[in-house]
Amino acid sequence: MGLGLDKKINQDLPPGATPLTVDELEGLLPKYITTRKELNDAEFKNISEASRTHVLSRKKFQWTVSNLYKMHREMLGKVWAWAGKKRITNKNIGVDKTQIDEELRKLIDDLEFWLKDEMETLEISARLHHRLVHIHPFNNGNGRWARFITNLFLKERLNSYIDFPEDELLLTTTIRKTYIQTLRQADNLNYEPLIAFQKKYISSFAT
């Protein structure tokens, strides 16, 4: 793949983004991609296709570890050969690679408890969102995957979704800075900023 592509894909990464290694770049499927913009466009198209499929579906999302992996594969499987496969290296963010499955199972158990405990829905979505990002199961695309899964939860519970400003979140912007800060505050169990961020962008599906 070469160092040239490595530099082009990883250049100007926004704060908090995880660089792709040369080995991970070997999994890039569309061979025409040589710049970060082309990569972003290809990923956006793939994710949009997955979003249309699941927004229109009447099936409820089944909360299993395998389905969480499957969703990442549907979102990015046309771009990356490793989509839907858990990372085999540790990153600058995320749990140890050996703990990924265990932490996802714990999260699913916690989600069941939060629902039985009748916790407020947007607090659950904030906790879910944060934990998915924190676990960071994949080489890349973890934030977008976490936001996607969060919206599947909100679709089922509130017939709503968070219209995340994805273009802003992919770049070094004030909105991304605020978003990263809310996740870091959630690291310290302060979910209110993330809940407020969600409320700012929440919308209802047409009935």
What are 61-80's pLDDT values in tens digits? Answer: 999 999 999 999 999 999 99
CA distances from 165 to 7, 147, 168, 171, 198 (A): 26, 11, 5, 11, 11
In this predicted model, which residue has the larger pLDDT, 157 or 171? 157
* Domains of the chain, CATH where assigned: 3-204 (1.10.3290.10)
What pLDDT, on a 0 to 100 scale, did the predictor assign at position 1?
46
pTM above 0.85, yes or no: yes
Question: Would the pLDDT of 5 be above 80?
Answer: no
What are 110-141's pLDDT values in tens digits? Answer: 999 999 999 999 999 999 999 999 999 999 99
